[in-house]
Amino acid sequence: MAFDRPEPSETALTPVADPTTAPAAAIRLDRVSKLFGRFAALKGVELEVRPGELLAVLGPSGSGKTTLLRLVAGLEFPDEGRILFGDDDVTLTKASDRRVGFVFQQYALFKHMTVAKNVAFGLDVRRKDKPSRKDRDARVAELLKLVELGDLGKRFPLQLSGGQRQRVALARALAVSPRVLLLDEPFGALDATVRKSLRRELRRIHDATQVTTVFITHDQEEALELSDRVVVLNEGRIEQIGTPDEILNAPATAFVAGFVGQSNAFHGEVRAEVFRAEGMTLPAPGLADGPAEAFVRADQWALSSGKGLEVKVLRVPPSAGLLRVEVEDPHGRPLEAALLRAEGVAKPAVGDKIRLRATGGRVFPSP
């Protein structure tokens, strides 16, 4: 495979004498801020993307994730801070000189060009190091094979399905051997089945090419399933950076806990390192007494025979494995619980009052 790895930066080439020095980042955002009029889309974001990793940027709409990606691509420019690719400061470099691969949610293919011409575009517009026609065609064929569109080179984009179009967009972005591949909600416009299969495809293509990849999504399942690390963004600030496991099981802030894992939030109080609210208790080690907020995921509930949160069963949708129940708490707030099917416990019926016990969850002091 002729895919160029991101060029190793100088710091990576010099032997690392000091073991505390981290390996050079492929991309570094240094206190980057971006304003649109009076709206601050990003507020002093610090981020390092490691060479060859697949990084997901997760956040609700309006959290600044698209802005972050466009800043890295050179489609927008920061008002403050620096952006570095390895050791190159690219803060003011134009998009056309950054050598990034960008995949848009709506594909943004060139409709009047065949699939092969689309993929070849980045090579055709080169002014220096322009490959020969033969090399170009070989590269295009290789990329189309990689995205499993080998025999569709002569088609036009409008003759393809959504999933196929996004594969073309991916091949086109990879053709320029980008230093970093950026994907803006790449599966957002696709239906659920295509989404899932293309997700696995992206992981396979990433592993085959080893190109540093950043993709943004508002779908936590997508972020957690696909990436090496996840950045959770909210209102222009980074809430947490970590592995999918850390994000799911050790959320750093109340926002992350509430955003990830279909969590139910409870307002209550901490006394003597125990959180109490509405009949439920959770250990809250290290927390000072006072008002607090707890987040319990659907899979962190169990049926309780004694004390617990009293809920009314609304629906028991058929499901395999875990027993799923949709319930409402005494305030009429809907909750969802995925319970382990215990031996000898009757399946609750609609209308039953049952008690739930939290088996896990995170407690944060109220702001």
Return the number of the residue (120 or 233) whose C-beta is nearest other proteins: 120
What residues have CB less than 8 Å from 131, skipping those under 6 apart?
Answer: 123, 139
Question: How is residue 81 written in tokens?
Answer: 């801070």
Alpha helix segments (H runs only) across 81-191? 115-124, 133-146, 162-175
Does residue 28 interact with other proteins by CB under 8 A?
no
Which member of 35, 95, 287, 316 binds other proteins (CB under 8 A)? 95
Using CB under 8 A, which of the segments 25-33, 43-51, 92-100, 324-332 binds other proteins? 92-100
Which member of 61, 96, 193, 305 binds other proteins (CB under 8 A)? 96
Which member of 28, 34, 98, 139 binds other proteins (CB under 8 A)? 98
Of residues 198-237, which lie at the interface with other proteins (CB under 8 A)? Answer: none
Of residues 170-199, which lie at the interface with other proteins (CB under 8 A)? Answer: 172-173, 175-176
Residue 181 beta carbon to other proteins: minimum distance, rounded to whole angstroms: 11
Q: What is the CA radius of gyration of the chain?
A: 24
Q: Please tell me the count of residues contacting other proteins according to CB under 8 A.
A: 36
Residue 133 main-chain phi, psi, to 5 deg: -55, -40
DSSP summary character for residue 6: P
Of residues 230-269, which lie at the interface with other proteins (CB under 8 A)? Answer: none
Which member of 1, 2, 17, 158 binds other proteins (CB under 8 A)? 158
Angle at 315 between CA 325 and CA 264, to 5 degrees: 45
Name the strand (E) or helix (H) holding 255. Answer: helix 254-259
Q: At what angle do helices 162-175 and 115-124 cross, to 10 degrees?
A: 20
Residue 127 beta carbon to other proteins: minimum distance, rounded to whole angstroms: 8
**88: number of Cβ within 10 Å:** 13
Give yes or no for a contact between 172 and 121, defined as CB atoms under 8 angstroms apart: yes
Q: Round to whole Å and give the CA distance between 199 and 24.
A: 28
Does residue 97 interact with other proteins by CB under 8 A?
yes
Does residue 34 interact with other proteins by CB under 8 A?
no
Instruction: Please tell me whether residue 96 adopts helix, strand or coil conformation.
Output: helix
Return the number of the residue (111 or 353) whose C-beta is nearest other proteins: 111
Give yes or no for a contact between 224 and 203, defined as CB atoms under 8 angstroms apart: no
Of residues 62-81, which lie at the interface with other proteins (CB under 8 A)? Answer: 73-75
Which member of 5, 31, 112, 307 binds other proteins (CB under 8 A)? 112
Of residues 119-138, which lie at the interface with other proteins (CB under 8 A)? Answer: 121-122, 124-127
Using CB under 8 A, which of the segments 95-103, 226-234, 303-311, 345-353 binds other proteins? 95-103
Beta pairing class for 290-296 and 264-271:
antiparallel
Binding-site ranges for other proteins (CB under 8 A): 73-75, 94-102, 104, 106, 108-114, 121-122, 124-127, 156-159, 169, 172-173, 175-176
